[in-house]
Structure 1
């Protein structure tokens, strides 16, 4: 049995399903059924912010997958990569492939902060902080938001200026519980799912050394390297489509059982 051409898109911090609006029509034109989620406690979601954590995010995406007619490619942008990984751990039979767009592809038990600390120890001269120093916090530091100028400079610097300003203006407050997350993964489940990492060489948020470190820590992903910033689905959606879909077509054209040999030791 072949895989279905379903694709579920998971946004990163401070975003919503709108983050994929420029890319979705290109995917649909190639025959993909695309569903972009709004994670609990983010953007227009009506869910209680108590569900803005890895368990709540994973459960939400699993409900979306259960509504589909077959397995789906699950795409995680930035911090959405952590939810994508956990979804594959929870239901590998429902995930035909994982795609990380400058995404947090982390080993079991390792946080993004841990990766930053490891990279800083190896090269203290490089600035790995990304958006962190620019964030605005509520009184108890349970929620953060991104100033417009920082979003334009660090997330959207290489996007069309009008589209960038629209996207920066839509960024929403983010519960910190939805950022400080740690995956729990196994080779027997997560490790069986084919993975693709879309590396963004001009990223000023999840900088290239961090992306490369995560690929080394979680080996086995096929790599696409784009000369763009943090948001390839807005900066260069056609280039992203042209690079990604041939690999996905190769994966989805294979019988499902051929894809289920362990790919990593998580």
Structure 2
């Protein structure tokens, strides 16, 4: 087994590739290659939210995968579990392992907006709203930390807050298209977060039970990449030995 891998880490809604810095640094110190792209409209990508679709997200990642000589470990956080599922469907030969970090692991035909309607006790869903022109989605500012990152210091959260961006609406409505032939052949892993106030633990387990090769547990909020980056990196390295 090649013990040096390439990880493609896909950020959550509202954030950007920057969210992975601490995890990425640890993986790189271990000799791995790490790619942390900004999806359109996020991070350093300034595309206008009005025009962004799920196809734009997917193309960003497939373009990266097409440049890789070997299959990668593809990781999706939160909403972009949907994105990595679609990418895996289109490029199954480019994905060695598929990892969901407290993410949406949906079935064929399901969507983010349809799925969250069944969530109970989600601070993110309770405080979720659309802009007046219905082009992007937000979470009430006063509840963002409580919903996503209650276990990191307020000072650290406030420093990151300036980089939070509106989330385009069109990808949130996308109905996932996957098949057993392509997506179904890829080994899948789930990292559940027991203190998550955005995707409740019951919802996480309902999504991944019977659908993954192995699950891992972190006693963390929705953003362990900030609160427990060492443990996230440790799991990502550990699952390399899973076959």
TM over 0.5: yes
Tell me the equivalent position of 1:127: 121
**8 Å CA contact retained: 1:115, 1:214:** no
Match of 1:211 among 204, 207, 221: 204
- 1:40 counterpart = 2:40: yes
CA contact (8 A) 1:73 1:98 kept: yes
| Structure 2, unpaired ranges of 5+ | none
Q: How many residues align?
A: 243
Shift of 1:136: 5.0
CA separation of 1:221 and 1:164: change in aligned 2, threshold 3 A: farther
180, 192, 216: which is aligned to 1:224?
216
Unaligned runs of 5+ in 1: 121-125, 252-266
The alpha-carbon deviation at position 104 of structure 1 amounts to 0.5
Pairwise CA distance, 1:3: 8.6
**For the residues of structure 1 that align with 2:44 and 2:139, how far apart are their CA atoms?**
17
Label 1:109 to 1:136 Cα distance change in 2 as closer, same or farther (>3 A): closer
The answer as to whether partners of 2:7 and 2:75 remain within 8 angstroms in 1 is yes
Q: Find the aligned partners of 1:232 and 1:211 in 2 and give their Cα distance.
A: 15
Q: Is the 8 A contact 1:15 1:171 kept in 2?
A: yes
Hey, what does 1:168 align to over in structure 2? Answer: 161
Partner of residue 27, structure 2: 27
- Residues 133 and 220 (structure 1), Cα distance of their counterparts in 2 relative to 1, 3 Å cut: closer
**TM-score, normalization: structure 1?**
0.84
Provide the residue aligned with 1:61 in structure 2.
61
Deviations 1:142-167 (A, max 9, x none): 11233443111111101233322222
Residue aligning to 1:255: none
**2:146 aligns to what?**
153
Instruction: Give me the whole-angstrom Cα distance separating, in 2, the residues matched to 1:67 and 1:244.
Output: 22
Alpha-carbon displacement from aligned partner over 1:78-135 (angstroms, at most 9, x marks no partner):
0111111011000000011111110111011112344344x46xxxxx424x313324
When normalised by structure 2's length, the TM-score is: 0.91
Q: Contact between 2:111 and 2:172, CA under 8 Å: does it hold in 1?
A: no
Which of the residues 190, 198, 214 maps onto 2:191? 198
